[in-house]
Structure 1
């Protein structure tokens, strides 16, 4: 089965549907043997068009003013529509520009969705009521970007609950382990890496029996909402990122993005939870001093799209 490709083009978002414009019908010429009008005068001049009534000067000025305002409104409306489309018109296969390095984005490899076995459905299709990801969860992990050094402990394979809960404060780990056992978490896949500038990244994908179990874990166990919920070991307090636009978020998924507020000590941490059907993703990045926002959001968006 052919694997759907997630495009990595750096241009503007792709239009979800391109409608081919229907060419205008050409006028039908009269048949060559059609009889001429027997009453037409062959030497008569064509009739002159009647001149339209001339509007008063005051009315003409009002029309010109109205035309200028109409043009201004159309231009502003067009710009606004273009901006809105750039945000809302992204499809599941759109990826933010990966080749533009000036704003700090990282270069990720070409991303593809793994092929499914015959009869299996994507998580948000009709008939998949539990919103189950039938693909191998490890193949839905975002690969490390170019130049990264892989984390040997989080190499893109399965990991245990002990490794996952170690990301949280010590006094929270026992309760988290019990909650994961009670929820019968099916799999945990994880990948980590370090960039040449020292930025560390870790991604965990937790797959539950259905979307309902994943939602319950997000709401009742880690309590994600206006704050970061269950505190991480590296950053006990984080604040919701009010500037997160979710411009690349995927339909049917929900992202919660947080950043450690000043003063944040030697390193700043950014974290995000993504709820995607039966799966909950945790994305963590940190850097000495401040952690750059652009590559963090890029990472969250790309991981979300793989889960969509």
Structure 2
């Protein structure tokens, strides 16, 4: 069975209730008329006075309509204020492009071979990804310039290119031995550079089972507060406590780190993901500082592809 995730268009328009607006009161953007309340006429009803008796009905009628109009105006204004004061991410359907996120294409998982279970199905005891690993690498966003160095041979990257991310010769040698001994099967990768200079590199390493991938991650790559091995350009990296844990997917664990100030020519952000038999590394770097929002967006989307 083919699993597909697509990004559905979102809109912030409220459904129409069919109730006309209140005359004389300007409509409040984003606030529909109150259902079940009849429209207010342009003028209050005129009642003929009764002779010989002091008529109080006209002033009372005017007062009732005035109070109603004021009440609707206040209620509408209060609702609009509530919406505009909320965070963009708290308002369902409201676009948030202006927060710095990138324009990614629709995310679609590659098809599973006939008869193969999904990675986290009950029948899949090894939590293995049977889909083509190359199709599980996050595609580049709009405006990105591809990194030709990470294209590999027919989409398969050599271990040497992956190890070049690490700073010291000793770490590269130790990792090479571990990956060989643990039976690394494939490395798929993709990289790109955005117009603002942000460089992204994503690596997916596939092992025989989820148990093996988890052990490699714990022994060779991550600790709670810092990564086990330094990346090039990031001699110090600390746990990124600003990463939104609410965005975490069900079957993917992550360790997210950020290079603190003062950093060198570039700031580096990195995340290790473990999803069944796949161990992933996501790296973003940028001169003057790697921005938080596109990094978080990239990590979350890659998690969703592996989940």
Task: Give 2:282's aligned residue.
Answer: 283
Task: Give 2:6's aligned residue.
Answer: 6
Residue 129 (structure 2) pairs with residue 130 (structure 1) = no
Task: Give 1:260's aligned residue.
Answer: 259
Q: How do 1:88-107 and structure 2 match up within 5 A? A: 100-107=96-103
Task: Give 2:159's aligned residue.
Answer: 161
**Which structure's residues are more often strand, by fraction?**
1
Query: How big is the shift at 1:98?
Result: 11
Equivalent residues, number: 230
**Counterpart secondary structure, 1:269:** strand
Query: How big is the shift at 1:288?
Result: 0.6
Given that 2:6 and 2:107 are in contact with CA atoms closer than 8 Å, whether structure 1 keeps it comes out as yes
Aligned equivalents of 1:224, 1:11: Cα separation in 2: 41
Aligned equivalents of 2:95, 2:171: Cα separation in 1: 40
Judging changes above 3 Å, is the alpha-carbon distance between structure 1 residues 114 and 259 closer, same or farther for their aligned structure 2 residues?
same
Query: TM-score with structure 2 length normalisation?
Result: 0.70
Judging changes above 3 Å, is the alpha-carbon distance between structure 1 residues 239 and 134 closer, same or farther for their aligned structure 2 residues?
same
Aligned equivalents of 2:95, 2:165: Cα separation in 1: 32
Task: Give 1:197's aligned residue.
Answer: 196
Task: Give 2:217's aligned residue.
Answer: 218
Alignment RMSD (CA, Å): 2.5
Structure 1 runs of 4+ with >6 Å offset: 96-99
Query: TM-score with structure 1 length normalisation?
Result: 0.70
Query: How big is the shift at 1:8?
Result: 4.6
Given that 2:151 and 2:190 are in contact with CA atoms closer than 8 Å, whether structure 1 keeps it comes out as yes
Given that 2:259 and 2:267 are in contact with CA atoms closer than 8 Å, whether structure 1 keeps it comes out as yes
Aligned equivalents of 1:214, 1:119: Cα separation in 2: 24
| 1:214-271 deviations in Å (ceiling 9; x for gaps) | 0110011123432122111221210101111222221021111110000001211000
Aligned equivalents of 1:291, 1:144: Cα separation in 2: 17
Aligned equivalents of 1:215, 1:11: Cα separation in 2: 40
Aligned equivalents of 2:281, 2:95: Cα separation in 1: 25
Unaligned ranges ≥5, structure 2: 13-86
| 1:7-30 deviations in Å (ceiling 9; x for gaps) | 254569xxxxxxxxxxxxxxxxxx
Given that 1:10 and 1:100 are in contact with CA atoms closer than 8 Å, whether structure 2 keeps it comes out as no
Q: How do 1:54-73 and structure 2 match up within 5 A? A: none
Judging changes above 3 Å, is the alpha-carbon distance between structure 1 residues 173 and 98 closer, same or farther for their aligned structure 2 residues?
farther
